[in-house]
Amino acid sequence: MAKRFEIPAFPKGEVSQYAANPFNHNVNSFGLSGKDGEVVRPNDDLLIQRGGAEAFSIYQKLLFDETVQASLSKLTQEVTAREWKLIAASEKPGDVAVKDFVEDILKDITIDEIYHNFMEAYIVGFSTCEVMWRRTAAGIRPYDIRFRDQRRFRFQEEEDADYGFTMRLATREEPYEGIELPPRKFMVMRYWAQGNGDPYGCGLGRVLYPLVKFKRRALESQLLYSDRFANPTAVAKAPLSATTNEIDTLYDHLSNLSQETALVMPEGFELEFVNPGGTPEIFEKLRDSLTADIAILIAGEDEAGSASSGSRASSEVAQNVRVARAHDMSQLISQIINKNLIRWIVDLNFGTNVLAPSIERDFEVKEDISMTMADVATLVKDVGLRPTVEWISDRFNVDLEEEEFQIPTGPEGTAGVDTMSDGGKTLDGMDDEDEGGEDGDDGEESELDSTINNVLGDEDDSQEDDSQEENADDDGVSGLRNALKTFLG
């Protein structure tokens, strides 16, 4: 029997190993090779010059620069300010129960701190933490997340591992190769400004390092210039007949001129004060330019929190760019938490074949629509929408009990506002007026309506209400009826 289709063989194994790249001269092994793979160094010339993975403190110190810290905090707060939510794998009762179990655990640990510390990988390149487990009556639960120094970790090639590497821990006994780590113990967050496959990541620190260095030098030059400008250089001119002792004595006095209140000079000596050329604004503009470059590199904008921010449209664009970048970082961190922490919780408590829930931050754009209760009533009556109790409570900041809360309804054409008599109980708590109107003459009003119906040819019988309802939208009939009432009344 002939085959209807044939599936070709799929390629197996890893062909272009990271350590086999002939252009990566820096990633030579620390000593392990062959069957266990190679322990590689970061592919970073600056780190290699300073000692390899032990030199990650160079990028860690960038976090203590005021511009870097302000921009990173602004981006981090954009992430942590969003509410996190856990989504069940499906609507099945079992998956919902697993989701509730994991959610109770996550509420006991500081999720925002995990996002905050993982954001360090954005600058340094990677960030890692250790999960502390504890067996309780309610199951195996993580009770603490402890972040560790990046300089303590090495990466060894392994084809079946995530990104092709497993992580090892450097100890006093094994400072270069490190020791193996137990499973379900360490989480690693990597960020790549360049997708070069470096297991140590490729953070923005490689770009920020020269910018921060130049900004600090510009500040030093500005301070030095300000000192020279505030204390100009004193220049004395001595006559040719001056002796060496006289010149030395005068030099000593000029050296302490900033502390002297008066100075006596022999006849024939001249004193001048020389100020440096240029203006201090040169260094200030240089620092401002470097500061703006750093802020734009990290947060995508430099207007938020700046006194010299642009127009409202420009600020809105800057806000959208920052939110988009924060959303990307939030998704990366959420994937790490879903793949590691949440997956491990489910594995240790329910089994490895059970679907795990997923965590995400709420970045949904919400329109700022100003609505009143009257607008809501109009939507309910005329459009047919029925908002939930939760939406009403959040929108108008009121506490409602779902059992007693009811959407107010009224007769047709009233947009949900009850204008009919209901025994003195209205929505506003005030007594209703009499049904007869202001004059209370029900009989006269009834005769007037009957007369108008006879003139218009309408039947005054039990079907009067249906006839009026069908002609409610007819502006001509309605206008004529009102004109007759005015004329006859």
The lowest-confidence range among 3-17, 197-211, 431-445, 473-487 is 431-445
The string of pLDDT tens digits covering residues 287-298 is 999 999 999 999
Of residues 444 and 87, the one with the higher pLDDT is 87
Cβ 263 vs Cβ 255: under 8 Å: no
When pLDDT is averaged across residues 22-30 and rounded to a whole number, the result is 68
**What is the reported pLDDT for 412?**
53
In our burial notation (b when 16+ CB lie closer than 10 A, e otherwise), range 164-178 reads: bbbbbbbeeeeebbb
What rounded mean pLDDT belongs to the chain?
80
Whether 435 has a pLDDT exceeding 60, the answer reads no
| Model confidence pTM above 0.85 | no
The string of pLDDT tens digits covering residues 401-417 is 655 545 555 555 554 44
Angle at 445 between CA 444 and CA 448, to 5 degrees: 85
The lowest-confidence range among 154-158, 221-225, 398-402 is 398-402
Whether 266 has a pLDDT exceeding 50, the answer reads yes
**What is the reported pLDDT for 125?**
95
Whether 121 has a pLDDT exceeding 70, the answer reads yes
When pLDDT is averaged across residues 162-177 and rounded to a whole number, the result is 90
pLDDT grade, residue 34 (50/70/90)? very low
